[in-house]
Every structure is written in C-alpha cells, then in structure tokens.
Amino acid sequence: MSQHTPTPHNGAKPGDIAKKVLMPGDPLRAKYIAENYLENPVCFNTVRNMFGFTGTYKGKPVSVMGGGMGIPSIAIYSYELYHFYDVDQIIRIGSAGALQDDVMLRDVVIAMGACTNSSYASQYHLPGTFAPIASYSLLAKAVENAEKSGVRYHVGNIFSSDVFYADDPSESDLWRRMGVLCTEMEAAALYMNAARAGKEALAILTISDHLYRPEALSAEDRQNSFHQMMEIALEI
C-alpha cells in the first residue's frame, strides 16, 4: 500500500475508477462485461485476480469489478470503493435462488431490501435492528429499464445469507413465509456500507435456481440469461 494505491486489495490509483461501478461476484464475469459491453476498457486491478476495469458505456464512464462470494468479501471491496476511490454508486449484479412459487428461472429480481442472518450490522452499535435498503433512485431507474426490456422482473425483499450449505435447510421456509423473493449472499452488506458512507447501492439478480423445485440453469444458460440483467444495470 502506498500513496498511489490507498488499499492493499486494489491496485487502482485515485481517478482510475468511475463514479458508478457494476459489481458481479465473479471477477471473470467482470472481465466479460468489460470486453463485451464497455468501450475502450482499461484494467485497473489484478490484485488477488479480482479484476476491475474502467471504460465507457454509450459515452459515459463506468467501471466493473468483481466482489467475490459472501458478505465479508463484498464488504471489503465496496467499502474501499466508497471511501478510498470516491465511488458514488455500486450496482451488484449476480445470481440468486428463488424462494417463491411465482419467481421463475431467468426472472430478474430488483432488491428493494435485504434481510440477513449476518452480524455485519453489529459494528454500528445501533439501539435496534437496521433495515438495509436500496437507493430508491437507482431502483426506480432499474424498474424503468426492466419495463423497457420486456424481461420478467420482481421488486421486493431478498435474503443475504452467511451460509450456503445450511445445517438446517428448513430455515428457508421461514424467510419464504415472510414473502422474501430469493436468497443470495452479498447485498445486505453492500446496502449497509452505502448507508454508512452516504452513497448509493442496488442489487439486481437473475434467478439461477429454485429452492423448492428441482430447477437450475446450466453454466451456459446462466451466461446467456445474465445479459438482460447486465443491460438493465448499464442503462441506469
């Protein structure tokens, strides 16, 4: 870490990263987005192979960077982007498992709120329970873009879990009965970091599997289905 690279996890110098960052979990997906959607992309980070790129989309600067799996990973990268690189908006784009019967494979979920079983909020010493929510302005634009694209979409609550292989799988039933749309592993921390920094965040998710039906997309299907989600995010 030096005066030119303010964090040990990111090789970018101040000014290398745009005000808006798209953040998939997979760094190779970040590379794919940069190479297929951005004009003149430049790689700003290869530290830990968490690739990050900055280019333009329809003439406007935008960056894309991997965020990793789980709350601790996205929490580190998003915190540093907000606080050390002056990023204003982070849009998580990723996959999720459906909890509700009317949420289908390939549907897009725009996360208005993110429940969690993580203790991440405990660091703020709040005298109650914090509700991690999205930026309304980003959410409204995402809904508008989803309408234009004609994709099936849902807006509502999601669940950000610290656990992928749950010891008690029936816990999903409890979130399901509260109307939670789907489960993933990152959005709640992103929303909390944004709130604490006074910045904006949104999670846009593509349903890749269903927790109550034997349905799942193949790797190839995931890649093809995620195009709509990427374009909704880029158009914001």
Catalytic residue positions?
209
C-alpha span between 11 and 102 (Å, rounded): 43
CA-based nearest residue to 179, from 212, 156, 145, 205 = 156
Q: Which residues are paired to 94 by β-bridges?
A: 205
DSSP 8-state secondary structure symbol assigned to residue 19: S
Residue found by looking up tokens 């987005």 in the block: 33
E strand or H helix at 143, and its extent? helix 136-149
Between the CA of residue 77 and those of 61, 88, 130, 206, 222, what are the distances in Å?
A: 19, 14, 21, 22, 24
Structure tokens at 8: 């040990």
Residue 91 has, within 13 A of its CA and on its CB side, a CA count of: 28
Structure tokens at 113: 């709120």
Coil vs helix vs strand at 179: coil
C-alpha span between 28 and 126 (Å, rounded): 37
